[in-house]
Structure 1
Amino acid sequence: MMKAIGFILIGFGLMELSGWAIHKYLMHGPLWMIHKTHHQPSKFAFELNDLFSLLFGSIAVVLILLGVEELDYRFWIGIGISLYGMLYFILHDVLIHRRIKWFQKPKNAFLRGIFKAHQAHHRTNKKDDAVSFGLFLVPREYFKEEEK
């Protein structure tokens, strides 16, 4: 059981780290033509940028299918990636971008920090001027409370 939890955490952690690097160096680099749809206003439920979620989800499904018979590390890493994807959807698409209006603005300090970091990321719709590329790993400055 501890091995399973460890591999789930590895899958989750690898998604945050690789997601940060992919976002910064590929999405805001050679894959900008796809990602820029996320930085522009849209009237549609889906944007071209959603292809990245399909890619990451497909990797999770393949790992789960490869490891399901033995319930080995591939299965549990795939579960970790899937958990990351579910939290990403809830935090990023629902809470931050309100693509589905389930929640109000966050009141929790941690969620507010994530929210502020993502708002800072979207202050520009240009490829090169963005900041804060992670979902959970964001600079501490976004967790500081404003003076009232």
Structure 2
Amino acid sequence: MDTILYYLVPTGLVVGSVLFMEWFATWSHEHIMHGWGWGWHKSHHEPHDDALEKNDLYAVVFAGVAIAMFALGHFFWWPLTWLGLGVTIYGMLYFFFHDGLVHQRWPFKHIPRKGYMKRVYQAHRLHHAVQGKDGCVSFGFVYAQPVDKLLKELEENKRSYDPHALKDEDRPAAH
């Protein structure tokens, strides 16, 4: 029984922290980044040619939290190490889905044509279909609601948005 718990507890902490991070990232994207933290996040909603944007400071903050969790887990309370690993895994998922797949910040380009990846891609394109910080939809990074629900939400917001945001032939802006 001890052997099972030896693996089960860390696995539960890692998986639980990854799931929590999607919830927290969604919440903070909507309420912090599109709220009082708009000063950093605004750079992500504007066209630019730079490889980095001020919004990337959020990744630095979350990386700092993960590093602190690893250190505190090593020296004081071991579960923090596994929670830090979950935060790090979430950061990698974020980098893959958001920076790579959606915003094409990789040296190669790929627009998904079907399945879940297409839904994530389209949901975040709809997030950027609104000018400014208000009236946006789809604040998650790994989970994406169905596109028809997001379109309905955009219509209900009564804000103008770019109806061409889902056209596959359009490349996402380099932001």
Fold shared per TM-score above 0.5: yes
User: Does residue 20 of structure 1 match 2:44?
Assistant: no
SS at match of 2:104: coil
| Equivalent pair of 2:32/2:38 in contact (CA under 8 Å) | yes
CA distance in 2, matches of 1:132, 1:102: 25
SS at match of 1:9: helix
Q: CA deviation at 1:69?
A: 5.0
Q: CA deviation at 1:121?
A: 0.2
| Equivalent pair of 2:120/2:142 in contact (CA under 8 Å) | yes
| Equivalent pair of 1:26/1:32 in contact (CA under 8 Å) | yes
Q: Matched residue pairs, number? A: 143
Q: CA deviation at 1:123?
A: 0.4
Q: 1:52 aligns with which of 34, 48, 58?
A: 58
Structure 2 unaligned blocks of 5 or more: 1-6, 150-175
Which ranges of 4 or more aligned residues in structure 1 deviate by more than 3 Å? Answer: none
Instruction: Letter of the 1:16 partner, please give it.
Output: E
TM-score, normalised to structure 1, is 0.89
The answer for the alignment partner of 1:6 in structure 2 is: 12
SS at match of 1:45: coil
Structure 1 residues 82 and 28, CA gap change in structure 2 (3 angstroms): same
> Aligned residues: percent identity?
33
The aligned runs of 1:8-87 (5 Å cut-off) are 8-69=14-75, 72-87=78-93
Q: CA deviation at 1:103?
A: 4.4
TM-score, normalised to structure 2, is 0.76
Structure 1 unaligned blocks of 5 or more: 144-148
CA distance in 2, matches of 1:119, 1:96: 7
